[in-house]
Amino acid sequence: MCGEPTAALVGESLILSGWTARRRDHGGLVFVDLRDRSGVTQLVINPEHSPEAAELAHGIRNEFVLRAEGELVARSPETVNPNMPTGEVELKVDSLELVSRSTALPFQLDEENVDETLRLRYRWLDLRRDKLQRNIRLRAQMVGIIRRTMEEAGFLDIQTPILFKPTPEGARDFVVPSRLQPGRFYALPQSPQILKQLTMVAGFDRYYQIAICFRDEDLRADRVQEITQLDVEMSFPDQELLFELMEQMYARIWRECLGIAIETPFVRLTYEEADRRFGSDKPDTRFALELEDATEATRGSEFGVFAGAEAVRFLRVPKAFSRGELAKLEELAKEWGAKGLAYLVFDGGEVRSPIAKFLSEAELAAFAGKDGETLLFAADVQEATSRVLGALRLHLGREVDLIRDDDFTFLWVTDFPMFRREEESGRWAAEHHPFTRPTKEWEGRFHTEPKEALAHAYDLIVNGNELGGGSFRIHEPELQAKVFELLGMTEAEQRSKFGFLLDALAMGAPPMGGIALGIDRMTMVLAGEPNLRDVIAFPKNQAGVDPMSGAPSDVTDEHLVELGLARLEEPAR
């Protein structure tokens, strides 16, 4: 391989095949950097030594594929390249074969800031670059470790179908028309949730799968429509065992892929605590800057905004902000839904703030601001103060440089709310998915106080990124039906959508629980790669289009007829 020749091999005759990374013509002598997945070796082609090879070498362009035979020689000391693993040697070429040519390149492999659409259009070239080679290899290495960990722990890889029925994970379904059953559709699974539960009912006891899940979502920077996840389920679940297994798996991935020891067991926070301290259900705990509560202290405040708000909370930032900086922060806070941003700046023995005059000595004393600090307030309903201060906290973590970039802080968030109210319909929706069981305390009464009810559900977070989550499931058909009912499903709907699940649960279902962890997101964190698409070999762009193949593409009218489909109108072109 091109990355292998070292001083120890000097004198050997070698054959190297690969791509032309660079060619330099030094009037007579031609140098070629030959690259394959393992690295680069320099070829030297001397017209006096091999005239035919030299003749050929003049016509070589970047990315031509070559096969070179020759003797590995040591470079003279002044030409040794200490930045190259093979920098002490070069191949003195006896014969050279041009295996295949390349048309002019749309971009050079070492070019920076190439437009992403162009990169995706020529993905096969893009993937030749070092960074993408590294990301894709890292991903494969990680998946290898995941498989080994799961198999060693006795989990069985079971494949589940891609053409299936809707599985509720809260996104829109992709549907596929059936030709054999005209007018009917398969849905692509948003996750194998129901099927993995059925493997438990079927007695397999421990299941895992590297599963592709399809979610027809509007795409943001950190979302794709086809996500890959490690999907896990176990019967007679033991939360400690499951958490420990996942922790060991991550420790192994970080150790083997990055040589980094991560601390286990991971910290655990309940949802309530995460929200209270960090204003988030996926807190980045690489830095402190916790939210503080001033609701009690401001009950009788002369500042009406404080006195009248359901919650008054604040961040204590170790910096005295200028007026201009505060104006910018206020603008951000408004984007996150705040009406304004009250502040107190403790600077040079004074308090700078338009609201200070409304605050009593007692209030100021309760805030206990120190010189060089700014207190930033949110006064609103509890949820809104979390949203605004949680987002502000993350922003300030970066802005005031509180985050240590080389840190990895993993944590579990547990005891999520079971339901949330859908804004438009006013209906209850499952916070996780409708198969999640209530915690022990809520089993008998979740339906009487759905707003307060807690689920036996958990998420795994690293550095403020949600890696995934899971829950313990409902294995009692009556309990499952009761949850469906609360979600507003009639009995007929329950039967048509989930009849098979209810039937299965009624035929000897074990208690079960599991988790799913996103492989794409995991690779991003592992590779320190901010672009989700760059940890996926063949991703689509943010409009769900693959610029390389042109997918999604049109189908012929004949094909539509076969499927029993008609167009509403001609698609726009």
Which residues contact ligand ASP (rule: CB under 6 A)? 169, 191, 193, 433, 469-471, 514-516
What is the helix (H) or strand (E) element at residue 123, kind and residue range?
A: helix 123-126
Residues sharing a CB contact under 8 Å with residue 330, sequence separation 6 or more, in sequence order = 338, 340, 341
How many Cα atoms are found within 13 Å in the side-chain-facing hemisphere of 497? Answer: 14
Q: Tell me the two tokens of residue 285.
A: 């705990």
Least CB distance to ligand ASP at residue 15 (A): 49
Q: Judged by CB, which is closer to ligand ASP: 191, or 225?
A: 191
Least CB distance to ligand ASP at residue 257 (A): 24
Least CB distance to ligand ASP at residue 230 (A): 10
Q: Tell me the two tokens of residue 250.
A: 């991550």
Q: Judged by CB, which is closer to ligand ASP: 5, or 189?
A: 189
CA distances from 482 to 410, 433, 436, 506 (A): 35, 14, 12, 14
> What's the sign of the alpha-carbon dihedral 46, 52, 55, 56?
negative
Least CB distance to ligand ASP at residue 238 (A): 15
Q: Judged by CB, which is closer to ligand ASP: 369, or 470?
A: 470
Least CB distance to ligand ASP at residue 211 (A): 9
Q: Judged by CB, which is closer to ligand ASP: 399, or 466?
A: 466
Asked if residue 256 lies in contact with residue 400, where contact means CB atoms within 8 angstroms, the answer is no
Could you count the other beta carbons within 10 Å of the beta carbon of residue 249? 20
Residues sharing a CB contact under 8 Å with residue 479, sequence separation 6 or more, in sequence order = 437, 443
Q: Judged by CB, which is closer to ligand ASP: 32, or 188?
A: 188
Least CB distance to ligand ASP at residue 392 (A): 28
- Quick one: three-class SS letters along 42-75? EEEECCCCCHHHHHHHCCCCCCCEEEEEEEEEEC
Least CB distance to ligand ASP at residue 19 (A): 40
Q: Judged by CB, which is closer to ligand ASP: 283, or 514?
A: 514
Q: Judged by CB, which is closer to ligand ASP: 343, or 458?
A: 458
Q: Tell me the two tokens of residue 408.
A: 């990895």
Q: Judged by CB, which is closer to ligand ASP: 72, or 516?
A: 516
Least CB distance to ligand ASP at residue 474 (A): 12
Q: Judged by CB, which is closer to ligand ASP: 43, or 454?
A: 454
Q: Judged by CB, which is closer to ligand ASP: 150, or 515?
A: 515
300: exposed, middle or buried (Cβ count in 10 Å: 0-12, 13-18, 19+) = exposed
Least CB distance to ligand ASP at residue 512 (A): 10
Asked if residue 86 lies in contact with residue 39, where contact means CB atoms within 8 angstroms, the answer is yes
Q: Judged by CB, which is closer to ligand ASP: 164, or 336?
A: 164
Least CB distance to ligand ASP at residue 517 (A): 9
Pairing of strands 311-317, 373-380: antiparallel
Asked if residue 432 lies in contact with residue 472, where contact means CB atoms within 8 angstroms, the answer is no
Q: Tell me the two tokens of residue 219.
A: 């795409």
Distance CA 40, CA 38 (A): 7
Least CB distance to ligand ASP at residue 432 (A): 6
Could you count the other beta carbons within 10 Å of the beta carbon of residue 424? 5
Asked if residue 379 lies in contact with residue 295, where contact means CB atoms within 8 angstroms, the answer is no
Q: Which of 528, 425, 435 is nearest to 194 (CA)?
A: 435
Asked if residue 428 lies in contact with residue 487, where contact means CB atoms within 8 angstroms, the answer is yes
